Structure 1
Amino acid sequence: MKLLFNILLIFMLLIAFVPFFRRFIFHLLVGRKLVKEQERQYRAQQQRAKQTGVRVENIPPDINQSRFKGGEYVDYEEVK
């Protein structure tokens, strides 16, 4: 019984004070399920995008071309 208590105590101390061990235990318990759920959500999102048929391509405007061709001259008065 004392051996089991010592093993449990060492395990708890490792979890409490060793970040690498804590991350490893978290990955074993939760990490794989979390990654699988993220992949499932991503695939579902891609499937929804294909079903809607909406596709947006962002084509940046050419730097040398400008849509602004000029404007009208507007009189103004300076207010003091």
Structure 2
Amino acid sequence: MNEVQDIYGLWPSAAAMARSIDVPPVTVRQWRNRGYRIPQRYWASIREAGEALGADIPLNAFLHGSTPKHGEGS
């Protein structure tokens, strides 16, 4: 697992990922629409949810996503 896209691929849908980390599905879809970046405050819960699926998500996977779209803030 080398990139943020790999993290999203652990779940069959944005809704499934959202349920596993207790956020609204629109939140996960917004992350994907903003270049796949996941805010750092969610990393721990995503790593725990990944472990429940049998996946080891390294911290560096959160750092290797798409670049922000033009005009986006962080």
TM-score (norm 1): 0.21
Q: Quick check: which has more Rg, 1 or 2?
A: 1
TM-score (norm 2): 0.22
